Structure 1
Amino acid sequence: MTDHLFRPQFTPAIQRVLERLYSETIEQDPFRRAEAQSAGLNHDGEHEFYPAMAGARMPVTPEFGALLYVLARSSGARHIVEFGTSFGVSTLFLAVALRDNGGGRLVTTEFVPQKAASAAANLHEAGLADLVDIRIGDAMTTLARDVPQPIDLILLDASKGLYLDILRLLEPGLRQRGLVVSDRADLDGGDGGRAGAYLAYLSNPANGYRMASITTEALGQNFAHDIAVRV
């Protein structure tokens, strides 16, 4: 799962952390996913999938991580908000971009305390902890206060049914030409169409966004990602 795409930009310390986390993903995540599937939980859009996968890394793919870096770097991002820290792989990619942009602040939120602690340790090992504020708990609460503005980039990478709620919570602080990036919003998981409503919201020009979608592949799976710019 490791990939040369993210190597040129990063220090040896950051590279070591990423390679370790991707190696752990290859070793552990397929077994965790098989356990979740045996309990009838087949993908990220389903209720209770994330608790069942609490010990899994579930990182962004290397290609998507590299794209996150490029998006944040090229847009000159200084203020980033992330929904879904997990073990901090996507957080690392975004924090490197902040560092290379001259500094800034990344607020990220994670529901599982053990994952947040692991992410904090990974960021410290990579030398990026000073750029990141990790918050633990319900994102609708943790992201309702003290979020840096104007927001340059929002990453949505946790419970799909909350994507639209989180976007609407953060939208007042999102700058013009700010980016909204989401992972696997196509997985609706029987949540009453809430993830589908998120995609419909971004796709409607009246709401002020223009959107594109891409797909990456890792561990024999295809992963859909959506990128929108506020116009």
Structure 2
Amino acid sequence: MNTLTSGRIAQLLTQLHRDAEAADGELMKEVVAGMEASGSTIEQLAAQMIADERADYRRVYSGHAAHFLSVSPGYGRFLYAIARACKASRIVEFGTSMGVSTIYLAAALRDNGGGRLIGSELEPAKVARARAHLDAAGLADLVDIREGDALETLKDVGGEVDLVLIDGAWSLYLSVLKLIEPQLKAGAVILGENAFAADYLDYVRDPENGYVSQSLPLGEGRGNEFTVKVA
């Protein structure tokens, strides 16, 4: 038995994944239907999404205030396992949303003996729901969710960072990484979910920048990049 599989948290996560499927189901169907109708690939769809974000990422994400856009149960367990494996005590999360991924990471912190998770979320309604979910999980004491633009809220994360989850506006991945980069420990893990932005991938895959990086076949056809700070 561990914190993740304790009755309280396991039951909450099961319910939240159901809620996410209900909230996001129609959106996913629309995306798939649009791709089939246009013959677009996931990469082409991502490129358009990134272009829209670069024009106005606040507007793009205000349209998803009611959507979970959360990790799958499998990816959540992967997050927990990685946080346990690297004995993380300070985690940064870009894109808290409703707090599903946050619960997996905070559970790992609890089982690692404690620590701090600093999260950032742009949408006020999502911040409120994420905090309520963490309260329900009994993990709120480990988490600081900061409301607002991550380029401001993550300027000071309070110390050296063991693990970063980047899962917010796709166009900001590189900017967020560079903001946190001075605080990354050697051996720190950076997980980029939906990592489609070419500037981000080029940067973490260039050994000159001090990283080793590899795409992972996790999720449902989404780009997941696993990166380690080695220098």
Same fold per superposition (TM over 0.5)? yes
Number of residue-to-residue matches in the alignment: 213
Residues 7-26 of structure 1 aligned to structure 2 (within 5 Å): 9-26=4-21
Aligned residue number for residue 89 of structure 2: 78
- Residue by residue over 1:110-164, the C-alpha shift from the partner in whole angstroms, topping out at 9 and shown as x without a partner, is 000000100000000000000000100011110112x132100111001011111
Which residue, out of 174, 178, 182, partners 2:184?
174
* Residue 184, structure 1, aligned to residue 210, structure 2: no
Counterpart CA distance in 1 for 2:28 and 2:81 is: 30
Cα RMSD (Å): 2.3
The secondary structure found in structure 2 opposite 1:31 is: helix
* Residue 160, structure 1, aligned to residue 155, structure 2: no
Aligned residue number for residue 203 of structure 1: 205
Counterpart CA distance in 2 for 1:100 and 1:208 is: 30
Counterpart CA distance in 1 for 2:3 and 2:89 is: 21
Deviation, 1:224, is: 2.0
* Residue 101, structure 1, aligned to residue 100, structure 2: no
Q: Give the partner amino acid of 1:18.
A: L
Is the contact made by 2:90 and 2:160 (CA closer than 8 Å) also made in structure 1? yes
- Residue by residue over 1:195-225, the C-alpha shift from the partner in whole angstroms, topping out at 9 and shown as x without a partner, is 21110000000111001211334xxx42221
Which region of structure 1 is more displaced relative to structure 2, 61-70 or 8-17? 8-17
Is the contact made by 2:3 and 2:110 (CA closer than 8 Å) also made in structure 1? no
Measured at CA, do residues 8 and 79 of structure 1 come closer, stay the same or move farther in structure 2, by a change above 3 Å?
closer
Aligned residue number for residue 4 of structure 1: none
Aligned residue number for residue 215 of structure 2: 213
Deviation, 1:62, is: 1.3
Is the contact made by 2:4 and 2:108 (CA closer than 8 Å) also made in structure 1? no
Unpaired segments of 5 or more residues in structure 1?
Answer: 1-6, 187-194
Measured at CA, do residues 37 and 62 of structure 1 come closer, stay the same or move farther in structure 2, by a change above 3 Å?
closer
Counterpart CA distance in 2 for 1:15 and 1:49 is: 32
Unpaired segments of 5 or more residues in structure 2?
Answer: 36-44, 54-58
Which one has a larger percent helix, Structure 1 or Structure 2? 2
Deviation, 1:30, is: 1.7
Residues 23-38 of structure 1 aligned to structure 2 (within 5 Å): 23-33=18-28
Counterpart CA distance in 2 for 1:196 and 1:55 is: 28
Runs of 4+ in 1 over 6 A off after TM superposition: 35-40
Measured at CA, do residues 144 and 183 of structure 1 come closer, stay the same or move farther in structure 2, by a change above 3 Å?
same
The secondary structure found in structure 2 opposite 1:223 is: coil
Counterpart CA distance in 1 for 2:60 and 2:6 is: 34
Deviation, 1:51, is: 2.1
